[in-house]
């Protein structure tokens, strides 16, 4: 597994975006905390990068575009 490190400029852009939307719920507060972790922007399903454009649209995204499209399987 590899981690794609967002540039400083990208992280600053995302931080400003998250802070401007922070009143929108706890998911954004969690995203702000995760932003400073090395695995922020990495899909929790497949380990691939979550695109910067996707993160701009939804900074709390946990899945890449491909995994977000997969149907959710019920837990046994």
Which single residue is written with the structure tokens 């399903």? 45
| pLDDT tens-digit series, residues 10-66 | 989 999 988 888 776 677 788 888 888 888 999 999 999 999 999 999 988 999 999
User: Would you say residue 72 has pLDDT above 70?
Assistant: no
Q: What's this model's pTM, rounded to 2 decimal places?
A: 0.74
The pLDDT of residue 24: 62
Q: Which helix (H) or strand (E) covers residue 68, if one does?
A: helix 65-68
What are the helix and strand counts (H, E) for the chain? 4, 0
73: which residues sit within 8 A by CB, 6+ positions away? none
74 is written with which tokens? 């019920």
- How does residue 75 score in pLDDT terms, banded at 50, 70 and 90? low
- How does residue 9 score in pLDDT terms, banded at 50, 70 and 90? very high
């Amino acid at each position: 597994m590899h981690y794609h490190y967002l540039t400083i400029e990208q992280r600053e852009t995302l931080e400003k975006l998250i802070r401007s939307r922070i009143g929108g719920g706890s998911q954004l507060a969690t995203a702000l905390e995760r932003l400073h972790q090395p695995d922020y922007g990495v899909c929790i399903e497949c380990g691939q990068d979550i695109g910067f454009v996707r993160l701009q649209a939804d900074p709390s995204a946990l899945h890449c575009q491909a995994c977000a499209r997969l149907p959710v399987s019920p837990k046994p």
